Amino acid sequence: MFLLILILIGMLSACGMVSQVPVGKVAVAVPCKEQEPERPNMPTEALKARGCPSGECVDELLQASIAENLRREGFEGRLVTALRACIAPITP
């Protein structure tokens, strides 16, 4: 009888133990569904297409270069926004 009580106590103490299950994180590739921003027309390309001689259009070239810098900065901002949307972690 004493042996039976010891066995029951041993079995009950085993019920209180919790087995640890290892948890691992697995990176899963998810395709990016963000639209690629359209590249704007650059003003200096229009000057090249028009065939402006190099010495005659200095003022136009300067204005076109400044405008192109502003357009390019805006385009780069849209690219960075699209990239951040693609690499942002997905929260479950």
Q: What is the mean pLDDT of residues 75-90?
A: 89
pLDDT band at 39 (very low <50, low <70, confident <90, very high): very high
Domain ranges of the chain: 52-92
Q: What is the mean pLDDT of residues 80-84?
A: 92
pTM of the entire predicted model: 0.58
Per-residue confidence (pLDDT) for residue 70, from 0 to 100:
95
- Tell me which residue of 79, 71, 85, 72 sits closest to 32, measured CA to CA: 85
- Distance from C-alpha of 55 to C-alpha of 61, rounded to nearest angstrom: 10
Per-residue confidence (pLDDT) for residue 16, from 0 to 100:
65
Residue, of 63 and 52, whose pLDDT is higher: 63
Residue with tokens 């042996």: 3
- Tell me which residue of 33, 29, 26 sits closest to 86, measured CA to CA: 33
- The single-letter code of the amino acid at 47 is L
